A and B are shown apart, each in its own frame.
Chain A
Amino acid sequence: DGGITQSPKYLFRKEGQNVTLSCEQNLNHDAMYWYRQDPGQGLRLIYYSQIVNDFQKGDIAEGYSVSREKKESFPLTVTSAQKNPTAFYLCASSIERAFSGANVLTFGAGSRLTVL
């Protein structure tokens, strides 16, 4: 079955450490996205990529980095510069490159990061 796989599901990190969250999709979708979800807040866009080897900052990109070397993969690195990294991270993909009207997002199951 096609879908999005995120790993790890749970991750604990010490302050000052970088961590990388994996996101792989086999839906043949062009666009991929990383969102962060915090209690009482809507999902916020960190980074997105509309095509291989290209990505754009979202609303809260500071302290994060991404790469898009393959269509299927869009890993997110949470760096030590991110001041409040504890959150639920969601990767998503969509068949269309643009945020158009028919652009429905498919989400992975999420990665829950806790900084100790």
Chain B
Amino acid sequence: DTAVSQTPKYLVTQMGNDKSIKCEQNLGHDTMYWYKQDSKKFLKIMFSYNNKELIINETVPNRFSPKSPDKAHLNLHINSLELGDSAVYFCASSQDRLSPGGPNYGYTFGSGTRLTVV
């Protein structure tokens, strides 16, 4: 069973469209994240949810809206897609977010969603 699964794996869409990426984890983790990996492979956090509550919201355009219906799911909806949104989006989850030195700190990543806006 895949621990953190994202759908779709690839997404090609036109500018101006609205799209969603879904993420599900079956690890029982309380915290989920969205990261963006740009064309230079730089990974940057976008959002973090803990038990359906938003706890990290980095400087991200309002066109990006995360939604967490339950702690096992964190979806990312993007409105009015722009060319610069093209990237790989990674979902991740973690069991312990409060103790960086603890044994359960650290992420389990999904396989990524490659979004191409044309």
State whether these chains interact: no
Binding site for B on A (CB under 8 A): none
Binding site for A on B (CB under 8 A): none
